[in-house]
Amino acid sequence: MGKILKISAPDGPRKKKPMSRLGARHMPEMMDTNHAERCRNKGCRSKTYMRCTKCKMFLCITKKRKCVQDYQR
Ligand SMILES: [Zn+2]
Ligand SMILES: [Zn+2]
């Protein structure tokens, strides 16, 4: 006695969306100034001509460091 109800769940292929999206991208621009500004990223003392147009912060970008990308408000 007793019926076994089989609940068949839809078993489609699961697609995972990559959540590697960065919220706001920094947009560095080269400033036309005579003297370099100090990088505003924490712990960085490099001089830079690059400034983020969104943050309005001077941030350096070199081979070793990418403060423009690392910098967060
Ligand atoms: Zn920025
Ligand atoms: Zn820096």
- Compute the distance between CA of residue 68 and CA of residue 58 in angstroms, rounded to an integer: 8
Ligand 1 centroid to residue 18 C-alpha, Å: 23
As given in the structure block, the two tokens for residue 47 are: 């001089």
Report pLDDT for 17: 59
Enter the pTM of the model: 0.64
Ligand 2 centroid to residue 47 C-alpha, Å: 7
17, part of any domain: no
16, part of any domain: no
Task: Domain count for the chain, please give it.
Answer: 1
6, part of any domain: no
As given in the structure block, the two tokens for residue 40 are: 């505003």
13, part of any domain: no
47, part of any domain: yes
53, part of any domain: yes
1, part of any domain: no
As given in the structure block, the two tokens for residue 37 are: 């500004």
Model pLDDT for residues 27-72, shown as the tens digit of each residue: 999 999 999 999 999 999 999 999 999 999 999 998 988 999 888 7
42, part of any domain: yes
- Domain holding 54, by residue range, is 27-73
Which ligand is located closest to the Cα atom of residue 69? 1
Ligand 1 centroid to residue 69 C-alpha, Å: 7
